[in-house]
Amino acid sequence: MRLELVPRTDVPGYARTLAPLGAIVAAILIGGLVVALLGRSPAAALDVYFVQPLSESWGLQELAVKMLPLVLIAVGLSFCFRANLWNIGAEGQFVAGAVAGAMVPLATHGMEAGPWVVVVALVLGTLGGALYALIPAFLRVTLGVSEILTSLMLVYVAQLGLDWLVRGPWRDPKGFNFPQTVVFEPGAQLPMLMEAGRLHAGAGLAVIAVLATWFIFSRTLFGFGIRVSGEAPKAARFAGFDANRLVLIAFAVSGGLAGLAGIVEVTGQIGQLKPSISPGYGFTAIIVAFLGRLHPVGILFGAFVISLTVIGGENAQILLKLPLDLTTVFQGVLLMCVLAADALVSNRVRIVRTARA
Amino acid sequence: MGMTEAVLLTVIAAAVPLLLAALGEVVVERAGVLNLGIEGMMAVGASCGFAAATLSGSTTVGIVAAVAAGVALSAVFALLTLGFAANQVASGLALTIMGLGLSGLIGAGFVGRTREAVGRLDVPGLTDLPAVGPLLFGHDPFVYGAAALTLGIAYFLKRSHPGLVLRSIGENHVSAHALGLPVLRVRVLAVLFGGACAGLAGAYLSLVYTPFWSPGMTAGRGWIALALVVFASWRPLRAAAGALVFGGATVLQLHAQAASLGLPSQALSALPYLATVVALVVMSIGRGRTSAVPGSLGVPFVPDR
């Protein structure tokens, strides 16, 4: 017995758009099965994961706060993934951006500097992330080193570097030996959007990133070049697109947005550097990017769903005593379902019962 | 036993899980499939192996469970990438994410438990020989298993007919298909074999290397094993040599931390990862543009009828 893929000739556009929805349903069913195996009620889990976070206003704000870094990183990743480049080190670029950007608030601490501090921090954070992403890009372009492994290895290096900084040279001398820097001054923090809430001005940056990415992919030659080099590298070469330049730019954009997400998280959400500034946003964003089919609007939707599971997972841990790892399993299963759904939309699968050909 | 031998023994112990996982991936990649899910399969192997061994009280049962878990996860990967021709990089990442989560779910009830590590062989007379005794005859069974596996896979790939078939499928799946070779069937078997090896590597971690289970205990070893495959130019014997180098970097880091050289401990912890990047760069410079990469690596294949 074997599977046989028969390409469908006329796939309507809406089918591709709806495929991730089918994947979500499938992943929820599988997730429910796992919950049942753990001896809890799948219905209660569904309620805690997907309904309760949406039914309270604090939940919605919390959702937006979680979505923000995911959207920024995933939109950046779409540049790489669309060009068939595998930057899986966004987590490291997130940390590099946070560290590079935090230099300004830390250097100006105690000077009561104005809000220019946070602006410079954002710029430096973006540059830091971009430069960090350019390391694997540069190695790939000049020496042909696979970007997959180098970008990932640099995640560990960045995390250890941050750990060293906050335990060593950057540690708050008055912080009772906790591994953390001083709390940034108000001028070095992103302003809140609403009086009583946690949503900060970084949300505006995410919206701009989504709109700009949409514009670049649908209206500019550069965006077209990225798409062609991913889907038909030969055609891109004949069309005169400089492959190496595209690699470098795609990585710089991707790393820059991950770095921006890092410094936005630090200046808007955490207010200081500490060893754990990310619960794995850089890896989760990979799922978000695929769930959104690498389209900026789709990524907004993908980030919404994934954030829902993150908040739901935290609540489920408290209310149902379900382990946090369940959320990780669900996210992995969801990514698999998205990939399978994509294949099932473009192909018909036939089960052929034959002996060997 | 002198200091040098003690260090060499720890280097070998650190090299074994890398080598086991890398050997599996050499076969997978030689067949033209890129499975980035090693880290996940290893993690599940480690937790299943420890859970089964603790519950049954038998190390053998633990090893079998770990291998079975690795095979089960790789079967999911095979369904996605070979059955549905899905993107291999993304599928491998999904496998790693899911595997790390699953290992946490499975191992949750076993945190803090310990069991006796698998003992070293002790051949009366031989192990007591000066110098060479402990090095040749004083290891745990996994070390000899890994050595045998290395030679076996080297022979299989280079000298046997099925090995030739596997390599030709990995080199050019269109031509191989035209010759009537069963591209997908061979690839499925290769992926399952890779899963078994990764599961075994996980079992080594939780049953021998550290006789307990803790979350995230694979600590990127699956990824280093992937780099090791590139470093070894997809050859089993070189993978064994490379595993010793990478294992050496791990041990060096531990010893340097104990010796407190004045370097921050984080710099030393970063050593294996930096060494991996450097190794990849050196390999690329060494072989220039003519590479040993299997021709069809990572490319989905849908046979025409």
State residue B134's pLDDT score. 62
**CA–CA min distance A108, chain B (Å):** 26
Judged by average pLDDT, the poorest of B12-21, B70-79, B181-190, B210-219 is B210-219
Residue A183 is assigned to a structural domain of this protein: yes
Chain segment A219-245, per-residue pLDDT in tens: 999 899 988 888 888 888 888 888 899
Residue B87 carries which side chain, given as an amino acid letter?
N
* Predicted local distance difference test score (pLDDT) of residue A54: 84
What number of other Cβ atoms are within 10 A of residue B175's Cβ? 13
Long-range contacts of residues B165-168, Cβ cutoff 8 Å, at least 24 apart: B166/B27, B166/B30, B166/B31, B166/B190, B167/B30, B167/B31, B167/B294
Q: Residues A139-158: what's their mean pLDDT?
A: 92
> Does some domain include residue A14?
no
- Predicted pLDDT of residue B131: 61
- Ranges of beta strands (E only) in A180-227 are none
The residue in chain A having the minimum alpha-carbon distance to the alpha carbon of residue B290 is A144
CA atoms within 13 A of residue A34's CA, in its CB half-sphere:
22
Each residue of A299-313: pLDDT tens digit? 999 999 999 988 888
Q: List all residues 6 or more positions away from A173 whose beta carbon is below 8 Å from its beta carbon.
A: none
CB-based contact A196:A58 (threshold 8 Å): no
A21 in any annotated domain: no
**pLDDT at A97 exceeding the cut of 70:** yes
Structure tokens at B49: 């192996």
Query: Which CATH number does the domain housing residue B103 bear?
Result: 1.10.3470
Q: Which residues of B touch A325 (CB under 8 A)?
A: 100-105, 108, 215
Residue A214 above 80 pLDDT?
A: yes
Q: What are phi and psi of A192, to 5 degrees?
A: -75, 150
Q: What's the confidence (pLDDT) of residue A92?
A: 97
pLDDT at position A40:
85
In this structure, is residue A339 part of a structural domain?
yes
Residue B73 has pLDDT above 50, yes or no: yes
Q: Give CA–CA dist B36/B229, Å, rounded.
A: 12
Residues near B269 by Cβ (< 8 Å), separated by ≥ 6?
Answer: A160, B253, B257
Count up the domains in chain A and report the number: 1
With 60 as the cut, is the pLDDT of residue A296 above it?
yes
The whole-number average pLDDT for the span B216-228 is: 89
Closest by CA position to B216, among listed A328, A306, A94 = A328
Q: Which two tokens stand for residue A159?
A: 């995390």
Smallest CA–CA separation between B240 and chain A, in Å?
20
Q: Is B205 contained in some domain?
A: yes
Residue B136 has pLDDT above 80, yes or no: no
CB B280 within 8 A of CB A143: no
Domain presence at residue A78: yes
> Hey, which bits of chain A come out as E strands?
2-7, 347-352
* A–B interface: beta-carbon pairs under 8 A: 148
> Please, which pLDDT band fits residue A115 given cuts at 50, 70 and 90?
confident
- Closest residue on chain B to A323 (Cα): B105
Please check whether residue B102 lies inside any domain of the structure. Answer: yes
pLDDT at residue A357 in the model: 46
Q: Model confidence at B240, in pLDDT bands (50, 70, 90)?
A: very high
* Range A202-213 average pLDDT: 92
Residue B96 pLDDT grade (very low, low, confident, very high; cuts 50, 70, 90): very high
A310 Cβ contact partners less than 8 Å away, ≥ 6 residues apart: A66, A279, A284, A327
Q: Quote the number of domains for chain B.
A: 1
pLDDT category at A254 given cuts 50, 70, 90 is: very high
pLDDT tops 80 at residue A160: yes
Residue B16's pLDDT band (cuts 50, 70, 90): very high
pLDDT tens across A268-283, in order?
A: 888 899 998 998 899 9
Q: How many CB atoms lie within 10 A of CB A90?
A: 34
Are B98 and A336 a contacting pair at CB < 8 A? yes
In a domain, A20, yes or no: no
Radius of gyration of chain B (CA): 19
Q: What is the mean pLDDT of chain B?
A: 87
pLDDT band at B129 (very low <50, low <70, confident <90, very high): low
**A3–B98 C-beta distance less than 8 A:** no
Q: State the greatest distance between any 2 C-alpha atoms of chain B, in Å, as a whole number.
A: 65
Strand partners, A347: A7
Q: Are strands A2-7 and A347-352 parallel, antiparallel or unpaired?
A: antiparallel
| B290 pLDDT more than 70 | no
CB A292 within 8 A of CB A342: no
**pLDDT value at residue A93:** 97
- Give the type of residue at B24: G
- DSSP letters, B129-182, are SSSHHHHHH-S-HHHHHHHHHHHHHHHHHHHSHHHHHHHHHHH-HHHHHHTT--
Backbone φ, ψ for residue A352 (5° rounding): -105, 125
Q: Which tokens in the block code for residue A35?
A: 């919950």
Best B80, B97, B181, B304 residue to mutate vs chain A (most A CBs within 10 Å)? B97
Residue A355 clears pLDDT 60, i.e. is over it: no
Q: Which CATH number characterizes residue A141's domain?
A: 1.10.3470
> What is the arithmetic mean of pLDDT over B73-102?
93
Q: Which of A84-98, A172-186, B9-23 has the lowest mean pLDDT?
A: A172-186
Per cent of chain A over pLDDT 70 is 98
Q: Quick one: pLDDT at residue B140?
A: 79
Is the CB of residue A144 less than 8 Å away from at least one CB of chain B? yes
Instruction: Among A145, A156, A339, select the one facing B281 at the smallest CB separation.
Output: A145
Range with the poorest average pLDDT among A259-263, B32-36, B61-65, B133-137: B133-137
Q: Which residues contact B212 (CB under 8 A, 6 or more apart)?
A: B50, B112, B113, B114, B115, B206
Helix, strand, coil percentages for chain B (3-state, nearest 5):
70, 0, 25
ipTM of the complex: 0.89
B178 near A CB under 8 A: no
Residue of A72, A76, A18 lying closest to A217 (CA atoms): A76
Q: In this structure, is the dihedral angle defined by the CA atoms of residues A289, A290, A295 and A297, taken in order, positive or negative?
A: negative
Q: Which residues contact B190 (CB under 8 A, 6 or more apart)?
A: B27, B28, B30, B31, B33, B166
Q: Model's pTM, two decimal places?
A: 0.91
B259 pLDDT more than 80: no
Cα separation, A151 vs A156, in Å, equals: 10
Domain membership of residue B50 as a residue range: 3-113+127-287
Domain encompassing residue A210: 2-8+27-352
Residues of A in contact with B291 (CB under 8 A): 144
Residue B271, CB-side half-sphere exposure with 13 Å CA sphere? 19
**Which pLDDT value is given to residue B255?**
77
pLDDT of B225 higher than 90: yes
Within-domain flag for B121: no
pLDDT (mean) for A316-331: 88
| Higher pLDDT, residue B21 or B210 | B21
| Cα gap A224→B75, rounded to integer Å | 37
The one-letter amino acid code at B147 reads: A
Amino acid B295: pLDDT = 83
Binding-face residues of B in 259-288 toward A, CB within 8 A: 264, 266-267, 269-270, 273-274, 276-277, 280-281, 284-285
Backbone φ and ψ for A90, nearest 5 degrees, come out as: -60, -30
